[in-house]
Structure 1
Amino acid sequence: MKNTQLIIGFVLLFLVNGYSQSNNTDCKSEVDNLKKELTTKDNIIVSQNEKMDKLEKDIEYYKETLNLISSKISTKDNDVILKINSVVGNSNSGVVNINGILINKGAVRPVQGQKAYATDPQGNGIMSYKLKIGGLSRVDKVLKDVPTKFTIELEQIVEGTPMLASLIIDFYTRSGYNKDKLSATFKNLNIKWE
């Protein structure tokens, strides 16, 4: 009887030990598979986050573009629409940067910045030759209905000046073989000081 119990005990011990070892191998295999799946999903998350970051930058770009095109401060001269989008002053340097957009509604033409003349509410005049079109001093072909950004830098403005009473911008252009000028006048442009 003792021998039988002893044999049954060894058999049970062998079966439990063998079952637990095979179960342990299955668990290790399952853990390895889950680790691989986790790594794959982590890579997918990183990829999706990169795509979301790019899309957020694209959205910000399109919002800025929409603001440029839909500006309410605009004028027209020689089939060209000029719009002012921002007038921002730097409190440290006293420099005011003006950003706008130029939309050619006529034939393809070259455009070059000539000068900008601004007056403050007290009648002080500021002349600037720092005009850029599309980031350049001259654009050889401003296409029809394609918005082109322009910037003007005005120096020596008294800090805290609340607005520009007037801003006159002159550009050189050519329509066909005729030399021409584009001129735009804006009034009461509020300055945002930063």
Structure 2
Amino acid sequence: MKPDSRPRTRTALRTAVVTALAATALLGSLTLTAPALAATAPAGDTAVVLQAQDQRAAAPKITRAEEIRRAKLWLTANGGKPVPYSQHKNWKDGYRQDCSGYASMALGLPKSGPNTVALKNDGWTKPIKMSELRRGDLVIKANSGDPDHRHVVIFDGWNSGKGSYQAYEQAGQVGTRHASHSYGLKSGDGYHAYRPVNLSD
């Protein structure tokens, strides 16, 4: 019995050492992999998503009539004149003076307002058909890499024959205006119809 006990002890020792080395290698592998996994899903991105969700939850419900009433305010808010256009300045009410800031103001969204791409992609709106447009819905072009070629207008109503429609917008070099447009009615122009999710009617 005694001669056999020594080899068993060595075998047990060898097994314990191999197990310990394997555990150490696994731990090292996990440690090295963790930063790579973190890099694929940055904490900052998660924070941005959660912030956007909080903002959407905070956006009050609004009727279409109230949205249009608010849209009309900027037509004369500048001492009887339209609010001037700017991608960098905010108006006195805290909203950005560009097209998406204006749409955000009309809808009562958090200041200074999501940009055109966010209005389309971040849950503030849902896509609809152009034929389904109702007063207060949005027509958005957001698929351009150049901010100067993105735009959003607030649909107000169809013109006779539905070949064009009236809309409120914040236009470059013009400011706030109520004008006739055919955005989204021509195939391939990049404009599509969207319904704001905070509309209550």
* Structure ID, larger Rg: 1
How high is the TM-score relative to the length of structure 1?
0.34
- Larger strand share, 1 or 2: 1
